Amino acid sequence: MKLRDVEFALEEPDMRPALVCDDVHNLDIDSMIASAPASDEPVIRLEQSQRTFILGCRAPSGAKTFLSVTGPTCDQITIMGNDLSASTTPLSTDDNVPVTAVHQSGNRLPGSRT
**What residue numbers bound the domain in which 35 lies?**
2-105
Total domain count, the chain:
1
- State what percent of residues in the chain have pLDDT above 90: 93
Give domain status of residue 110, yes or no. no
20-24's contacts with Cβ under 8 Å and 24+ in sequence apart are: 20/44, 20/45, 20/47, 21/45, 21/46, 21/47, 21/49, 21/52, 22/47, 22/48, 22/49, 23/47, 23/48, 23/49, 24/49, 24/50, 24/52
How much is the pLDDT for 113? 67
Write the pLDDT tens digit of every residue in 20-37: 999 999 999 999 999 999
Give domain status of residue 22, yes or no. yes
pLDDT at 94 over 80: yes
Give domain status of residue 44, yes or no. yes
How much is the pLDDT for 10? 86
pLDDT at 114 over 80: no
pTM for this model (two decimals): 0.94
